[in-house]
Amino acid sequence: MKVIFGFLFVFFSISSVCAQKVEGTWLTQGGAAKVQIYKIDNGLYEGKLIWTKDQSEKIQQTHGSTVIRRLKKVEDKKYEGIAYDPERKKEFSCTVTITGENSLDLRGYIGISLLGKTEKWTRITQK
């Protein structure tokens, strides 16, 4: 019986940690772009634009751009940092909330979070 409870504890602990990971490749809302989020140092993360649906030369030039900077975990499943929109050439404060194993909400705002916009992103999983 102890072995079963031990296994279940380890299983749920591992799945809980995996569910909270912000690292990975994410498809933005509407499938417009893919962003690779990765850990840099000191507990910070960055996100690079690695693909866009729009294949025009102007947009292609933005590939490789850092679109999320100084993303830092502030609570369980919640991160804060800076998002950059390469099309509009503007920076915003952002909050990333992990909403499921393969989903997150990214809220971009200027000033206070109430005056922002939220996008739902989906993790691209390896098969």
Residue 34: which CATH number?
Answer: 2.40.128.520
Residue 4 lies in a domain: no
Q: Give me the mean pLDDT over the 86-90 stretch.
A: 91
Residue 106 lies in a domain: yes
Percent of the chain residues topping a pLDDT of 90: 70
Confidence of residue 60 (pLDDT cuts 50, 70, 90): confident
Domain assignment of residue 118, given as a range: 22-123
pTM of structure: 0.81
Q: What is the end-to-end Cα distance of the chain in Å, rounded?
A: 34
Residue 64 lies in a domain: yes
- pLDDT by residue (tens digit) across 89-113? 999 999 999 999 999 999 999 998 8
Q: Is the pLDDT at 117 greater than 50, yes or no?
A: yes
Q: What H or E segment, with its residue span, contains residue 88? A: none
- For residue 32, give the nearest of 11, 4, 56, 66 by alpha carbon: 56
Residue 7 lies in a domain: no
Domain count, the chain: 1
